[in-house]
Structure 1
Amino acid sequence: MEVSSIIEEYNNAKDNDFRYMTLKQPVLIRSIQKDFDKLMANLYLPVLTHNVDSELQQLVSFEVLPRAVLSLFDSQVEEYNSNGLMWAYIERYVFYPIIDSLESGNETITNLLVQSLRNILNILISNDLNIKSVTRNDQILSDNYQSKYQDEEFMKLVSFMLKESQKETTVAGLQGYQETIQKLIEVSYDGRLRFLSPKALKMCIESLHDYEDYNTSSQMLLNKVIENTDIAAVAQTQQYFSLSNLKFMSKNWYKFAECCSGIIPKLIDEISKETEKSDISKMLEIISNLKDYLLQGTITNEGHPKLPSDLSILLLDRVLNILTNIIPSIESRDVINKHHNNNDLVTTESDTDIVVEDIDQQAYLDELDAGMSSNYDEDLSFTVDFEGDDTSSNLLEVTEEELQDIDIYNRDYDVIVKHSLNILYDVFLAERTGVIQFGPHLATAREKLNCIKSKVSDSNLDSKTFSLFTHFFERLEDFDRKVFETYEVLSIEELKTEISTPIPERKGAVVFTLIEYLGKDQVSLEELQSIIELIDHLIDVRVTDGDNDKYLSGNDENLIAEALLPHLRMNKSFVHTFKAGNISKKVDNGATLRTMIYTTLSRLDITKHLLVCKVIECLLHYGIKDKQDLIRDIAQSILKKLLDEHYEEILALETTWYSKYLVPIIAESTLPTNNFLTAYPPFTFHTVDS
């Protein structure tokens, strides 16, 4: 039915049943600006904003309007092929009219409009329709739509919703507003070409600053906001961050590239001070989230991290001290928990002493009698001296009313231990792989670590906490064993036998031999082909078995990928020249082998940051310049895959390298430059109004 006809038929309808049937009629939309705009202004919005039958409103909100919006993504619609402006039309004629109508209605109308907007967003998301789809299929955003910050209407929506959310008395109502904002960000921003402004980020952060423990929708909103805010805006807004929101925001660690040098040192300094347990646990979690700036080797700094190694050494010292001091406190907590769970803690109705079956624990508690209140059963309280190393000062009294507070301490202690051990492992790993150098601090660190290990062994920690420590030490020892483990190099025939029926226990010898052959100065074409075929077979086994670590771990794949890099360029020893009279012709006998190598490389899961950068360099220097068409295609495919998976991390850790080194090479290459630089744009720090 034509737009004008359906509007006329609805307006002339005598009853709601007929209006209902009219709204259900399919409508023919040829143009967003001409047809859909008329529908919104003269039919859909009046139904939603006027006091009409609720069934008609729900029909428009849940079915008619979302269906009409979905129909706009059709080649028959005039604006569909408008090269990047399609999404501008969607926002201008779909989102903005609803947003502009919010303040004109009462609470019922407002909720209905928000619900309608959310229904539209849901149907777009479920059909994978968003601003990112505009840049797919070789489409480029037009210049007048490629602005970094286009959130005037978004700000209006956020401002209104935040104001309205203060009135909400139900969790569901608040979450409804938050989810709508989150979904609008998801479809309207891509985090690469269109970003939220610092003002929008500040507003969202401040709206959540009172939340100590965010609900799921609050967490999702924070994550969605930070994902779609650029590095510059995050840096300009850092003064508004609280520990609570930074705890969630820092999971998108790559957005903190320009402010990590201010945030991380401050956190490292703070964790050594007298601080609430919950604050320490948050700070450790944030540091753990941002650890790549401290511990990840970068190509820009010749293998060293983005931040100076002194910070890593200081962090190591702080975390070792935390673990040293916290063990006695955890033991005290466990004593209280044990007796509370066994109903051994006295209540105000009991005059009996604490009964402890464990003789050692009873003796320990006896030492505390002098410090106990004589009015123990009425004035039971619990405190923990975090810095103390004398367990006799750690356990005082507990009231039944305050026993619930112990659960908070339980959670804080567990989080502190978990993040401390994770940080420790990563720091020691970085030291063992040469990313950072401890120098004279190494001996002190090892001494403290051994002291902690001894304390844990002699402690009465509960099984959960004890297992956290033992697992950490096992992981560290396992890594050391693998680093110093050596194998005998197998022959090609032995290697074929091993790989034909792979045994997990022999994996180390197999991978070691493969890498040794790939690293030889002199190796025949036939040997290399055999090695590549064997690697492919291992990958096939891994894929078929579904267990990545059983026959080929992630670290193994990185090692193999690195060993393949020298073979990505043409090997002149495999190029032969044939002469016939005055005519000579060069034949590249290694072309087939190189094709095999590029194909194998494309199948490997490359995860180590430095290796990713080295592979990208090789692909740009050799792969996309190779004379073989197939190799160029495979190289371009690998390049796209690596940038898809690691673009944000590269931009965060290698800003200068990417912008000043890679981008010019891409621009001068045979790659479809516009598409690559649109999908993976370089970052230039700029100041914007906040």
Structure 2
Amino acid sequence: MDDLISQYKSTSDNDIKYMILRQLGQMQVPVDDLRRLVSEILIVTLLEEPDMELVNLVSFQTYVTIAIQFYDDPIMLSSVILRPLIYQESDKLLLVRIQTVRNILKGLIAKRGTRQQPSTSTNNSLDVMHDEDQLVPRFVYIMKNHSFDGGIQMVLNETLPMLLQLYYDGKSELLPNVTAIEILELFNSDETLDAVKDAIVNETVLCMDHRIMPDVLIVVKLCLLKSMVRVWYQFDLVIDDLFEKFIIPTLKKDNFEHILMTLEIMHSLAPFFTINSMLTGQKRVSPNIIELVKESLVSVSEIILRLYKNEHSIINSGNSNDDDILSMEGADGDEVVDIDQQEYLAELESNSGEQDDEILFEDDASHDSFTIDEANENFTHFKEIIRYITLLLTEIRVPLNQKYDTLIARLVKEHNLLFKRQVSSDEIWESNLTQVGCMGTLVSLDSVYNKLSKSNSLESFNENDVVFTIHETLLSTNELSVLQLILEILDQLTTKEYSQMVCIKDSLSEVLMWFLPLFKPNKLFIKTLKVGNMKQKIDEGTPLRVMLYTVLLKCANRMNYKASCEVLKQATKYGLKDRDDGIREKQALSLIRNIIEHHYTTFLGIDEEWYRSEIVDGLLKMAEKLGFDSPSASLLLSLVRKFPPRIQD
């Protein structure tokens, strides 16, 4: 290594330099030589070499391959490799330096695995490093305090999300509060964020401490908030204030673009007003806020439908020869024949007189007349507003009453004319559903099993009767063979062929919760055998529990939140200490992992305290009982490290 460094520094022949740089990129660099190699060859070439071919070789290949060699040495990677690129006294060749940082980060993330989008999961394979050298704050300082042309700015924007991934995860390592706020301030404007800026904002919200969200919301603008709420669970401490002071007032304004963005924000935050907490049994959003949300959605619906009718008439009158306007396209590009639309508009016209003046925007100017240009500008907004309002109402539900009946019917009809995804009014109304399994006729379970085994349908059996019989039998028997038969029937009913049965598709979670008592080994199934002077206990219920875990593993991602939590709690309490090795070390652990992975962000946003006390503490206690050095305990500890509760003071 010393000879190569000396030879490189002493030659002026670019061909020789090129060969040496290629050779350095293919060598295993000793730790003791790394600092000298970076400072005397790599940095000097990037900052002082006039030959761009050599500069690009270092930036895109040599520096990157050397950095990846120190993948498992965070100190050398940060202090020796990355720090000299980010910390320089001047902005000399900043583009080349940041470009090199970007290339290194791409290589590291490609090797270690990338973090998935937080809107779907925070599952990732990155073990973040501690930012002891304050590289991210320094990088943000460069972005904040300098003006750059488009090329440099683009590279800076591309690099920052990867730098955040390397050092922060919002779990073990939190982004400094000041730095998080500075990053968000950079993109807090009235302009919609492009994909690169959106990635920065998402990584920032993912990595920051959710306890600073009250300070962030004081100055946040709508476009930035729309991007931020993709990491919805970070808003758990401010959700009521966010709705009361920001979202609901915006819905009362007459800016249709802002209304649409607000509805998109509400959809991202839907878990807060659709999922009941395991701890309280209530939604995270307070009941009075939920009622205000319902009223606001209904009010906006009424106004939008009226204005949409007016604008559609204007567009048709001004574009009478334009087939593309007269035949509207749905969301999926499906053309909708305008005959139904015109019939509907005629119906609206006949019913509109008594409705038009009931509800107005706070600062409503006259919207009864638009120019053709204005109508065209708002037309797309109106269609999307109708789509989002319908979607939100199916999630939040409104009470069935005469006041809303006509309006909801209008909304649903308009939505179904515009979009391929069809809805019905019943999906919007609140309803007291009959509990599954409470009514029906008892049937022979043996006959049901035989029919399922030999054919692809239940044929003469009514599915409600089958589910009713399962429910009643579970309540009345502890006979092992009968319970085994029921689970075998359920195993078949939850396969692809039968998963569309109404009782299974709509009530699967409720049905599965009937089987929760089977997690606990039943003493009635434990037999004692005598062999000479020896006694041996045999648990005849083990195959039953194996089948239970088999069914639940198959349905793990199809259960609703409540059922998933109840199953997770039982698997943690009983499965991890089951006497059967296959259940304890494989099935129970797989079920626990699957449920946590699927619902982790919901735990953080809705039930972090419950998740910490019921699940994480249970996993840690079991790891301690097994012995922290045992393989089984290591798997449990790994799961906790991967999906921890957020940091507490």
Q: Shorter-chain TM-score: what band?
A: 0.7 to 0.9
Distance 1:524 1:237, change over 3 A: same
Distance 1:260 1:624, change over 3 A: same
| Secondary structure of residue in 2 paired with 1:587 | strand
2:606 pairs with 1:653: yes
- How far residue 454 of structure 1 moved from its aligned partner, in angstroms, is 4.5
- How far residue 19 of structure 1 moved from its aligned partner, in angstroms, is 0.8
- How far residue 550 of structure 1 moved from its aligned partner, in angstroms, is 7.4
How many residues of Structure 1 are paired with residues of Structure 2 in the alignment? 600
- How far residue 228 of structure 1 moved from its aligned partner, in angstroms, is 1.7
Could you tell me how far apart the structure 2 residues matched to 1:193 and 1:163 are?
A: 29
2:406 pairs with 1:451: yes
So what's the TM-score if we normalise by structure 2?
0.81
- How far residue 529 of structure 1 moved from its aligned partner, in angstroms, is 2.1
Could you tell me how far apart the structure 2 residues matched to 1:596 and 1:363 are?
A: 57
- How far residue 627 of structure 1 moved from its aligned partner, in angstroms, is 1.9
- Post-superposition Cα deviations, 1:108-156, rounded to whole Å, max 9, x if no partner, equal x211111111111112222225799xxx999998xxx66xx86832011
- How far residue 590 of structure 1 moved from its aligned partner, in angstroms, is 0.5
In the alignment, what sits opposite 1:531?
486
In the alignment, what sits opposite 1:635?
588
2:130 pairs with 1:152: no
- How far residue 206 of structure 1 moved from its aligned partner, in angstroms, is 1.0
CA contact (8 A) 2:416 2:423 kept: no
2:242 pairs with 1:263: yes
- Post-superposition Cα deviations, 1:609-649, rounded to whole Å, max 9, x if no partner, equal 22222122112221112222222112122222222222222
2:306 pairs with 1:328: yes
Could you tell me how far apart the structure 2 residues matched to 1:59 and 1:98 are?
A: 16
Distance 1:684 1:224, change over 3 A: closer
2:574 pairs with 1:593: no
- Post-superposition Cα deviations, 1:59-117, rounded to whole Å, max 9, x if no partner, equal 111111111122234xxxxxx4xxxxx3343222222221113x5243xx211111111
- Percent identity (aligned): 20
So what's the TM-score if we normalise by structure 1?
0.77
Distance 1:598 1:645, change over 3 A: same
Q: Which deviates more from structure 2 when the two are superposed, residues 172-181 or residues 565-574?
A: 172-181
In the alignment, what sits opposite 1:626?
578
In the alignment, what sits opposite 1:675?
638
- How far residue 666 of structure 1 moved from its aligned partner, in angstroms, is 2.7
Could you tell me how far apart the structure 2 residues matched to 1:489 and 1:120 are?
A: 67
In the alignment, what sits opposite 2:451?
497
- How far residue 420 of structure 1 moved from its aligned partner, in angstroms, is 1.6
Could you tell me how far apart the structure 1 residues matched to 2:359 and 2:291 are?
A: 22
2:229 pairs with 1:250: yes
2:101 pairs with 1:117: yes
Please list, as runs of the form range in 1=range in 2, the aligned pairs for 1:575-590 lying within 5 A after superposition.
575-578=526-529, 585-590=536-541
In the alignment, what sits opposite 1:92?
79
Q: Which deviates more from structure 2 when the two are superposed, residues 489-498 or residues 37-46?
A: 489-498
CA contact (8 A) 2:225 2:265 kept: yes
Partner amino acid, structure 2, of 1:647:
Y
Partner amino acid, structure 2, of 1:491:
S
What is the RMSD computed on CA atoms of the aligned residues?
Answer: 4.0
Could you tell me how far apart the structure 1 residues matched to 2:48 and 2:580 are?
A: 67
In the alignment, what sits opposite 1:241?
220
Partner amino acid, structure 2, of 1:68:
I
- Post-superposition Cα deviations, 1:439-490, rounded to whole Å, max 9, x if no partner, equal xxx3xx5323312145458x9x69754777x625264589988978965554
- How far residue 44 of structure 1 moved from its aligned partner, in angstroms, is 0.8
| Secondary structure of residue in 2 paired with 1:471 | coil
Q: Which deviates more from structure 2 when the two are superposed, residues 279-288 or residues 329-338?
A: 279-288
Could you tell me how far apart the structure 1 residues matched to 2:133 and 2:561 are?
A: 34
Partner amino acid, structure 1, of 2:644:
P
In the alignment, what sits opposite 1:76?
none
- How far residue 186 of structure 1 moved from its aligned partner, in angstroms, is 2.2
In the alignment, what sits opposite 1:387?
360
2:42 pairs with 1:44: yes
Please list, as runs of the form range in 1=range in 2, the aligned pairs for 1:165-180 lying within 5 A after superposition.
166-168=147-149, 170=150, 173-180=152-159
- How far residue 181 of structure 1 moved from its aligned partner, in angstroms, is 0.6
Partner amino acid, structure 2, of 1:167:
F
Could you tell me how far apart the structure 2 residues matched to 1:243 and 1:186 are?
A: 25
In the alignment, what sits opposite 1:558?
509
Please list, as runs of the form range in 1=range in 2, the aligned pairs for 1:205-216 lying within 5 A after superposition.
205-216=184-195
In the alignment, what sits opposite 2:174?
195
CA contact (8 A) 1:296 1:609 kept: yes
| Secondary structure of residue in 2 paired with 1:576 | strand
In the alignment, what sits opposite 1:19?
17
CA contact (8 A) 1:495 1:510 kept: no
**Equivalent of residue 104 in structure 1, options 81, 85, 90:** 90
Could you tell me how far apart the structure 2 residues matched to 1:552 and 1:361 are?
A: 38
Partner amino acid, structure 2, of 1:597:
L
Distance 1:424 1:49, change over 3 A: same
CA contact (8 A) 1:294 1:311 kept: no
Could you tell me how far apart the structure 1 residues matched to 2:573 and 2:312 are?
A: 60
Partner amino acid, structure 2, of 1:291:
A
Distance 1:333 1:284, change over 3 A: same
- How far residue 157 of structure 1 moved from its aligned partner, in angstroms, is 0.7
CA contact (8 A) 2:42 2:63 kept: yes
Distance 1:173 1:138, change over 3 A: closer
Distance 1:315 1:483, change over 3 A: farther
Please list, as runs of the form range in 1=range in 2, the aligned pairs for 1:222-621 lying within 5 A after superposition.
222-271=201-250, 273-301=252-280, 303-342=281-320, 387=360, 394-398=367-371, 403=373, 405-428=374-397, 442=399, 445-455=400-410, 464-465=417-418, 471-473=423-425, 475-476=427-428, 488-492=441-445, 493-498=447-452, 500-503=454-457, 508-509=463-464, 512=467, 516=471, 519-539=474-494, 541-542=495-496, 549=500, 555=506, 557-578=508-529, 585-606=536-557, 607-621=559-573
2:6 pairs with 1:8: yes
- Post-superposition Cα deviations, 1:397-440, rounded to whole Å, max 9, x if no partner, equal 426xxx1x444412322232222212211112xx8xxxxxxxxx
Distance 1:68 1:584, change over 3 A: closer
Could you tell me how far apart the structure 2 residues matched to 1:647 and 1:151 are?
A: 31
Distance 1:338 1:201, change over 3 A: farther
Partner amino acid, structure 1, of 2:386:
V
Structure 1 gap ranges (5+)? 74-79, 81-85, 345-357, 366-383, 432-441
Could you tell me how far apart the structure 2 residues matched to 1:513 and 1:340 are?
A: 60
Could you tell me how far apart the structure 1 residues matched to 2:134 and 2:289 are?
A: 41
- Post-superposition Cα deviations, 1:567-624, rounded to whole Å, max 9, x if no partner, equal 1111222223456899765432101221221233222224422222212211222111
Distance 1:28 1:479, change over 3 A: farther
CA contact (8 A) 2:302 2:407 kept: yes
Could you tell me how far apart the structure 1 residues matched to 2:83 and 2:50 are?
A: 22
Distance 1:273 1:14, change over 3 A: closer
CA contact (8 A) 1:575 1:588 kept: yes
Could you tell me how far apart the structure 2 residues matched to 1:341 and 1:5 are?
A: 78
CA contact (8 A) 1:131 1:189 kept: no
Distance 1:282 1:532, change over 3 A: same
Could you tell me how far apart the structure 2 residues matched to 1:665 and 1:39 are?
A: 50
| Secondary structure of residue in 2 paired with 1:520 | helix
Could you tell me how far apart the structure 2 residues matched to 1:131 and 1:98 are?
A: 24
